[in-house]
Every structure is written in C-alpha cells, then in structure tokens.
Amino acid sequence: MNASATTHTLVVAEDKVGQRVDLFIGEALGLSRARLKKLFDAGAVRVEGRVAKKGLLVAAGQRIQVVVPEERREVVPEPDAPLVLLHEDDTLVFLDKPAGTPSHPLQPGETGTVANALVGRHPECLGASEDEREGGLCHRLDIETSGVLVAARTREAWTAVREAFGGRSVDKRYWALVTGPLADEGEIDLPLRHHPRHPDRVEPAVEGGEGAREAHSEFRVLAREGEYSFVEVRISTGVLHQVRAHLAAVGAPIVGDALYEGREEPGLGRFFLHARALGLTHPVTRQPLHVESPLPPELLAVLERHGLSAPVSARPE
C-alpha cells in the first residue's frame, strides 16, 4: 500500500449493526462514494483482518481497518492554457473566466480549470490559499458563469481578501437576462439551503432551519424589451447559486438556466449570467480597486437578438 497513507481503525457500535460497511466507513471518515469505491477495489478495507466487499453488513464490536492513501492536492500547472488577465499587481491577479471552464479542480490531477492556467503563469499562487487545489483563488464561479475572479499571490493577501468576502465588504455585481415580471429595483432577503431531493441545486428556506444560509441580493433593471429584462444583481453574501435561485424565487429565472426553470435560448449553450465586476479594498495599498469584465460575445449577441443593449460600466453610482 502507498507509503503516504493513513490507517484508520473503526469499531462498530450497537446502533450501526446491519449497516453496509461502505456506508459505515463513508459516514465515519467523511469519504465520497468515488473514494470508497477506489478503497474497496484496492483491497484497502479489512474487517477482522479479512479483505471486505462493500456490500458486507457490519456486526457489533467488529474492528474495521481502512488504509486511506493521501491524495495529491496540488493544482497541475498548465502554462500554455488560455488565461485572460484583467488586472495584476504584486499581490492580486484578476482573471476573466470563460463559461464552461471550472474555477479550480475538485479531483487530484484534474486539468482544464482556471486555477491550472493561473499557477502555470504564477506558481506562487499555489501556496497562497489554504487548499492548494484553489491555486490562490479567493472565491469561485459556477462552471457556466463567466466573468471576474480574483486570486492572491501571497497567503497574507489571500487571507485578507477572504475575510473581506466573509465580512461583506466586497462589491460583487452580476449581469443577467431574465424573463417574467420584475420590479425596476428591489432587494431579495431570502435564506437558501440545499434541496433535499436535488443536491445539485438550492431552494428558499423561508422558515430558516437546518442547513439554511442567509442570502441577500439587490437588483435593478438596466433595460427591458417585452418579457425580457436585463438586470444587474449585487450580492453581499455568497451562497451557492445565490443569484440564480433568488431570481427564480421572485418569478424571474435566468434565461438558459434549465436547473431553475429558466427560458431556453436557442443556440446559447449556457445560462445568461456574468460576473460583471468586483470592487474591494486592496490588502496592501488600502486603496479601492474596481475591476470589470466585458460581456462575452455570445451574451452580447443574445441581447442584440432581443433588442437590448448593455451599459458601458458597472461602476458604483
């Protein structure tokens, strides 16, 4: 077995009797199904000294040994991968993420993400974030969302920017095309939680409760034509799918966002959500910094098709 590995010894308690051994281990060690499958396939699980199959039912008092190899967490540098820089200095790098590209890898050895390209140009970013897989990124965007990402080149800068995000002092503005009735402007103060039957989406949690996370958005309509509204959304919190779920919750889902019942847009191949701008206080100079990303051509084409146009800037009023 891999020399860089940890051996866990688990003892089955009475309340776990009859549970499948793979589910028992997954709960005890917090391992994914994919990771568990690899362990059983490698013979890394033994019950009372014998190699176990994942369907085995556990009995009270059984001793289970699990040898878990350490996974390489570093981002694989891709210096030749496409990367669009919006702003860089000695401390921060602002990037323009295209739709269809993940922010950072989730699996060891995964390539094709923004983080891979970033550490290929700036290797120092690898050690800036606590999790090396993030490659210095201070936040992330959904795969289909385009726009501004910020990364740090030092751990001190990464910590400061992360604290700014957590403290709601980063100005995050998104542009979206929606359909449905929508006021000229307004606020959406609606907690969100993971959907119990659809783990890939979130839902409103009006009454709060377990798993509910506070989520606050402000919106204003930039242009209208027929049923379509071009909207700027400013978020102070950072819940998964917040802009998408909030707009859908008020009856104005994002065009192309099938997960949240958005209207189909032929030929688009993504949903119409763009991280237009980020504004923050620079962690070293302490000066305000505002960085914008232009709308990608495919989104400009959709606006034109519906008789709409985008403003020149997303700078605060």
To the query of whether residue 89 is one of the catalytic residues in this protein, the response is: no
Q: How crowded is residue 165: how many other Cβ atoms within 10 Å of its Cβ?
A: 18
Active site residue: 22, 96, 142, 257, which one?
Answer: 142
Residue 217 CB contacts under 8 Å (≥ 6 apart), including other chains? 187, 188, 233, 234, 235, 236, 237, 242, 243, 246
**Cα separation values, 174 from 67, 292, 315, Å:** 45, 10, 12
Are 45 and 65 in contact by the 8 Å Cβ rule? The answer is yes
Where helices occur in 146-260 by DSSP H, the ranges are: 155-166, 242-249
Q: How crowded is residue 303: how many other Cβ atoms within 10 Å of its Cβ?
A: 19
- Reported residue count of the chain is 317
State the residue for tokens 């505002």. 290
Helix (H, G, I), strand (E, B) or coil at 173: strand
Rg of the chain taking only CA atoms, in angstroms? 23
- Whole-angstrom distance, CA of residue 177 vs CA of residue 109: 36
- Whole-angstrom distance, CA of residue 85 vs CA of residue 94: 6
Helix (H, G, I), strand (E, B) or coil at 95: strand
Beta bridge partners of 146: 274
Which positions are catalytic? 142
